[in-house]
Amino acid sequence: MGAPMAGNLLKAGWSVTAWNRSSAAAEDFVGLGGARARKVADLRNEPVIIFMLPDLSYIEDAAAGLLAEWRMTPPRPGTLVAVMSSVSPVAVQAFGRAVAEASGGNAVVLDVPVSGGTEGAQRGTLAIMAGGPKEHFERLLPVLEAMGTTVRRLGELGAGSLAKACNQLIVGITTAALAEAAELAERSGMDVESLFEVLSGGLAGSRVLDFVGPRMAAKDYAPTGPAKFMHKDLSFVLESAAAVGAAVPMASAGAELYGKLKDQGLGDLDLAVVRQTIANLSDPKVTAARMTATVQGTAR
């Protein structure tokens, strides 16, 4: 998602220098008019540094050289570090403290995760949930508005990631409920596509149903985003709930279900593949060969 997001910044007139773990994407970005950094530490003098990587551990590894540079030569005051990945609300606060220490207080972390998938990243229509000091959010806002159409500050550092965790709780549990309905309907002799069409016109209608339903009905699990990340995101819900003493029974059930999805070897497929996970749970005699056939079938 980082590539189209950076591309939209270019289209909006921003000067963008990008680093990527693989060289091909970085070369493509240069072809669009952007610049390329050979290592993250090369970005040390930029006023805004954005990270869009799979998890905070990847960001911490990528930023290690940058923080080392800042310990020797602090950045300019007010340098903004935007974490746009889906990360732990608790861990991103610790990352913020590490950045502040390494930069002598000159750099500030904001967590600004996104929702909308690859399509939203390409169209510049992402929903962006922000956490961090208000004055720094307002400085970052023009950059964020080049990538998303709904941008809100929810509170201090960690609030954006908690909002994203809540988003994923709703998406993950709704998708699981659709999967259960699909399996129940099909095993009862009903056409799933027709079921979803009529449900979309009633109270059960939702953007999740509109987006995931057709692929789930067709058993098309070609990835638009790896399903395994839902397990990670729901673990953040559980972590945050434990910190404040909130009961989250649906998140607990969802985390267990998506953990089983990963155990079944389906984690790299689309989120809609949770239907296959439920099908496998319905048939305890499912064989490894059947699961392999499912994966190969969706790869075509």
Write out the catalytic residue numbers.
Answer: 164
* Whole-angstrom distance, CA of residue 109 vs CA of residue 79: 9
- Using alpha carbons only, give the angle 169, 223, 12 rounded to the nearest 5 degrees: 80
The number of residues making up the chain comes to 300
Helix pair angle (228-244, 89-102), 10° resolution:
80
Residue type for position 298: T
| C-alpha separations of 162 from 112, 129, 234 in Å | 10, 9, 11
